[in-house]
Amino acid sequence: MTTTVTTEAAQGLALLYHDAHLLAVDKPSLLLSVPGRGPEKHDSVLTRARRHWPGARIVHRLDWETSGVLLLALDGPTQSALNRQFARREIDKEYRARVAGRLACRRLSIRRPLVRDWPNRPRQMVDWERGKPSLTHVERLGHHGPDTCLCLRPVTGRSHQLRVHLLDIGHPILGDRLYGPPGSREAADRLLLHAHRLAFIHPATGERLALEAPLPF
């Protein structure tokens, strides 16, 4: 069921869905998915959720700068079942992004193996010898002046996959201060990447849920 829990009750989290087994929130940009090291990184979706739902457990993560649908389990069996769906790539993920330059083709698939760039961590990089296979399907939604709006469907879930894949084909995401070159980096006051839609099978009911977070840009 879709919930109408107030913002105050939800500790400042915009709820997209809530029942006895799981909840989904619209994570804002610049909020961690889980706490980091040190008191300055304590605030996170998980921290806030546990103030209202003490049994909340993380299922997946979004980058600090990425906004959109974030799913949490409220019990162990639900967490395990959702983790299995992610591991088996049974969860459909759809992102929206605005990138630098006018992408010419309507659709393409980006296959670039990724590995951690240890001297420059947390950056990732394309490495054809040591990288793990990574696949992103891309659909052009339209042009926005000199830029392009995209729908992204990652098949794999490597760290920073979308950011590195788009950079590698010459269309960095606007506002990406970790990977973007000068120009695209300053073109937006935040990373223009949003987890727009998440579709999965509810572990308790067997119902297929498709949850969407409204576009913030």
The whole-angstrom separation of Cα 196 and Cα 46 is 20
The whole-angstrom separation of Cα 209 and Cα 214 is 16
Q: What is the pLDDT of residue 12?
A: 81
Q: What is the pLDDT of residues 110-143, one digit of tens each?
A: 999 999 999 999 999 999 999 999 999 999 999 9
Q: What is the pLDDT confidence band of residue 10, given thresholds at 50, 70 and 90? A: low
In order of 84, 156, 200, the CA distances from 89 in angstroms are 8, 7, 10
Q: Are 125 and 117 in contact (CB under 8 A)?
A: yes
Q: What is the pLDDT confidence band of residue 40, given thresholds at 50, 70 and 90? A: confident
Q: What is the pLDDT of residues 47-80, one digit of tens each?
A: 999 999 999 999 999 999 999 999 999 999 999 9
- Domain residue ranges of the chain, discontinuous segments joined by +: 94-193
Res 2 pLDDT > 60: no
The whole-angstrom separation of Cα 23 and Cα 16 is 8
Q: What is the pLDDT of residue 4?
A: 41
Per-residue pLDDT averaged across 133-158, rounded?
Answer: 97
Q: What is the pLDDT of residues 157-200, one digit of tens each?
A: 999 999 999 999 999 999 999 999 999 999 999 999 999 999 99
21: β partners: none
Mean pLDDT, all residues of the chain:
94
The whole-angstrom separation of Cα 187 and Cα 172 is 11
Q: Which superfamily does CATH assign the domain made up of 94-193 to?
A: Pseudouridine synthase (3.30.2350.10)
Q: What is the pLDDT of residue 1?
A: 39
Res 9 pLDDT > 90: no
Q: What is the pLDDT of residue 11?
A: 66
Q: What is the pLDDT confidence band of residue 17, given thresholds at 50, 70 and 90? A: very high
Q: What is the pLDDT confidence band of residue 3, given thresholds at 50, 70 and 90? A: very low
Active-site annotation, residues: 63
- Taken in order 206, 5, 151, 124, is the CA torsion positive or negative? negative
Q: Which residue has the tokens 């993380």?
A: 58
The whole-angstrom separation of Cα 213 and Cα 70 is 9
In degrees and rounded to multiples of 5, residue 3 shows phi and psi of -95, 160
The whole-angstrom separation of Cα 74 and Cα 22 is 5
What is the enclosing helix (H) or strand (E) of 49? helix 45-52
Structure-block tokens of residue 3: 């919930």
